[in-house]
Structure 1
Amino acid sequence: MDALAVTDAQGAFRLGVAEKEVALHVQVEARNLARRKFPSLRAGPTEHKLQLGLGVTVMGKVVKDGKPLPGVVIGLAHQNRMAEKFLGDQKIRTDDLGQFLFRNVPANEGYVVYGLMESCRLHGAIKAQAMHLGADGTRKDLGVLTMEAALRLAGRLVLSDDRPLPTGIRMSLSREGPWDSQVAQVAADGSFAFTGLPAEGYSLRTKVPSYHLSSKNTSYDLTGLSLVGRVDKDITALRVLLEPGVPQRPDFSRFTSTDFQKMERRRNHALEGAPATETK
């Protein structure tokens, strides 16, 4: 199957596929127009008309202590993470006046705007801001995004059988909503730390061969893959417990509304690990 095609002077293109009636998910990008995904286009003799729009112009300004802050990277990510809809993220750096501007953002969709942690770390942190854009050709002025004091998350990774950790273990911390994450190296004693965090919800993951996250961690996600919860103040002693064995993937078809409500409560609660006195 052809992975890429370029339109001719009339805007026509052709993607070759091995079989008839194959359904394709096609993403179209053009200069000075908003990119767009077209799901389930059936291969065959039918000519598909793919319409692009101008999109929306999104603008704003970053300040710290009332003064414009240049050189900070601002991200903009599509909120719909369904494969057939997700358009990824965009990044742009603030200018000398602290201003930023995204052009040709796809219209009539939900997005989140945020300061990238790595870029903001020396100055503080910028919280994520959700928004819904209007029609093609409109403008969205976000006003001022304020650089605030950043938070710190630190703790220790522990194996329930008290064996020493292998070398080279890392932990990843992802923001809930923004397309932004950090990776921290785990020390020999299991200690780790993340800095430059805005007050938001996060997902914490790690991978140690032959071990899995314990459900004794208070913020254990029912997917079994991460700990989920909010960081609204410095957390200095998060104890992340792992147990021997392969994690069992949950059967979501058997989840009840109570299970999903429990997952949502954990996401909105402070991030917590396992107590130091848990029963083995």
Structure 2
Amino acid sequence: MDLKLLKPWRTGLLAVLLIGLNDPVHLPSARAAESSPQLGSRILGRVVNEAGEPIAGALVRYRSESATTDEAGEFSLERGLISGLPMVQIEATGFAPSRLQLQADGEMEVIRLNVGANLRGRLLNSGRPVVGAKLLLETSDERGLRFLKLLNALTDAEGRFEFNHVPPRTRWTLFGDVESLGSLGALLPRSGYSSGNGITDNLGDLPLQSGLVLSGRVVVRDGGELPGAPILIVVSEPLGRRLCTVTTDRLGAFSIQGLPPGPVRIGAGLPEYHLTPWNRSFDPVNRGLIGRLDHSVTNLVIEISRKRYRDDFMGNSRSLPVADHPENHPIGGVEPGARTISVSGSVVDEATGRPVAPVEIVPGLQPPIAAKPAPPWHQRLLNVFRDPAIPLHELPFWRTGRSETVTNGQFSVLLDSPSSLPLLLVKATGYEPVVVGPVTTSTNGLVVRLTRGSGPAGLVLDPAGQPAVGARVIHAVQGETFGMRETGELMPWGAVEGLGWTDPQGVFALPSRLNGRHLYVSHATGWAMLDDPELGAGLKLRLQSWSVVAGVLVNQQGMPVANEALTLDFQLSPSVNLRDPLILKHHAFTAADGRFTLTNVPPGELRLMRGAVLQLRFHARAGETNDLGQVIFDTPPPEPLLRQLKEKIGL
């Protein structure tokens, strides 16, 4: 089988080391500095002040574990089977909180806390002091990641406030508590860096600004009745810091005052109910609303439903242009908006003119496509041999979460109109899918004509020529990704529209799909793959038997390398312009003598990998044990000259 359209799985490792900037003094023992942490050992430490005196009653946290220091300032925590240096957080009355990494090799470590810095100021409203207002101070590292617990302070009779024991030389952000300020106004968040230990920074007079109002109501999709219990509306920053909460009345109405302008995230807390994807600001990742609140909004309509709708995922462009992300637009629900386009019409059979039902209508967006200069003549010549796939960032983004099924051939949908152009995908069983659009204005009476057609269908035979009963078949479109277990079983990840099985006669039939690219078949006896030019009805596929791959991993001195994890992926041309269509999950650990064996391997051009490091390229022959011999650790042989030339010219 030709595997040139498959793309290798590229993995990478990201190690993020968070180092606290709150200036604790960490004094590991000499032995700890020379040894590496041992899994399962305990974390031992002694917390002292700047004079070296023990601090009793300090709270030390590590993951889900916590301990309190004794009279000698000492603590002990179970490290657990966690690799890497443990990060602990320490809090003690009268000292700045600290977060730092320890060695955890069973040696006692000394951690010195300091008193920290101070931050003070005065809160005013139209020149008058604001009394009893709650202010919040959050500290973070230089990348703005959440760092330590939230500090809070109340303004006194003169509007003055002071934060003590602030981690020194640390980035901070000051907020006003929305519920505390109420209708008085909003304190715009401001950031800065604290000074050293014992130094007080004065922010001066901080004026309140006019606060924004966010009000509206909650409705149930399709006119359903509201639940009897109040609904909790939670408004927070995009990164999660809660601004305020409010509950709805019996009619689902709510109102919040004193919000600062900027990006907000909104959640509706009610058991068994979910926000629907028809809310314009719906975030499918966190399943809340996210958007900008630049002015007061008094007509927000938040739609909920008992049904949990599927995600926007259908083998298409998984990410919209940044300009179309919901956080870059005003917060919105299902209320009419300036960017809404209304489209209604009917779906009919192209040949007979009769209504087609049932029909699935899927809204989508076509990302902007930049004009491209004409390639030089030699590139046009090479393009004949290259994969003709559409670049992923130019594929339509289909909002499958908003798909609707109509049963009378008549449809009516509302589309968003951001920087990308609105589209409609119309699908029906036994017909070829049709893309309508771009739709730039509201339209009534639109007639969509569907042409009869079918997707891949046919007979699957095992390697012995007998019907392969119960074989899993996947019709994949461009951009979809699937996996293959070590058993050879195909795994659909999210997209199940193109999934099917062979019947007792070994026969299968799958729907036609927009941008259908590949057909994968897996069975206990073997597998097969076809590319789009070969797809159609009346197929007859004979499976190739699974391969076995074996070898010995050795170092450059010829000594066996034990306990190394090895994986496989497909070896493909660099001109492939697709996501990895099929990810192999085959893996094996080398034995004490360096030997490894992988079974149920699809035959073809493969790569043996150690993590992201190539070990060997090879061709796996069907139905055979492919002995790779000695594979030298992290030293793959050079590419053949012909392949080097193809990669150089992008074939």
TM-score calculated relative to the size of structure 1: 0.81
The aligned counterpart of 2:619 is none
Establish whether residue 28 from structure 1 lines up as the match of residue 90 from structure 2: yes
1:96-245 equivalences under 5 Å are 96-168=157-229, 169-176=231-238, 179-245=241-307
Deviation per CA, 1:77-127: give whole Å up to 9, x if none: 2346x9x96312111111222111111111232221011111111422212
- Secondary structure of the equivalent of 1:8? coil
Distance 1:249 1:4 in 2: 42
| Consecutive unaligned residues in structure 1, runs of 5 or more | none
In the alignment, residue 37 of structure 1 is paired with which amino acid?
Answer: R
1:182, CA displacement in angstroms?
Answer: 2.0
Distance 1:88 1:208 in 2: 28
In the alignment, residue 274 of structure 1 is paired with which amino acid?
Answer: V
Of stretches 177-186 and 97-106 in structure 1, the one that deviates more from structure 2 is: 177-186
Establish whether residue 5 from structure 1 lines up as the match of residue 68 from structure 2: yes
Distance 1:200 1:132 in 2: 22
Distance 2:71 2:78 in 1: 19
1:231-270 equivalences under 5 Å are 231-246=293-308, 258-259=319-320, 261=322, 265-270=325-330
The aligned counterpart of 2:156 is 95
Establish whether residue 279 from structure 1 lines up as the match of residue 430 from structure 2: no
Identity score, percent? 24
Deviation per CA, 1:184-228: give whole Å up to 9, x if none: 222333222212222232111013444422222221223242111
CA shift in 2, pair 1:54/1:268, >3 Å: farther
1:164, CA displacement in angstroms?
Answer: 0.4
User: What is the alpha-carbon root mean square deviation over aligned residues?
Assistant: 3.2
The aligned counterpart of 2:352 is none
Distance 1:178 1:243 in 2: 24
Deviation per CA, 1:127-168: give whole Å up to 9, x if none: 211223344343332222112222211112122222101122
CA shift in 2, pair 1:250/1:161, >3 Å: closer
Is the contact between residue 63 and residue 147 of structure 1 (CA under 8 Å) also seen in structure 2?
yes
Is the contact between residue 183 and residue 211 of structure 2 (CA under 8 Å) also seen in structure 1?
no
- Secondary structure of the equivalent of 1:121? helix
Larger radius of gyration: 2
Is the contact between residue 176 and residue 200 of structure 1 (CA under 8 Å) also seen in structure 2?
no
Is the contact between residue 112 and residue 178 of structure 1 (CA under 8 Å) also seen in structure 2?
no
Distance 1:217 1:70 in 2: 39
Is the contact between residue 154 and residue 235 of structure 1 (CA under 8 Å) also seen in structure 2?
yes
CA shift in 2, pair 1:210/1:16, >3 Å: closer
Pick aligned residue for 2:100 from 17, 23, 38: 38
Distance 1:56 1:250 in 2: 48
Q: Which has the higher contact order (CA 8 A, sep 6+)?
A: 1
TM-score calculated relative to the size of structure 2: 0.38
- Secondary structure of the equivalent of 1:120? helix
Deviation per CA, 1:235-274: give whole Å up to 9, x if none: 11111123442355789xx997x558368x5324321112
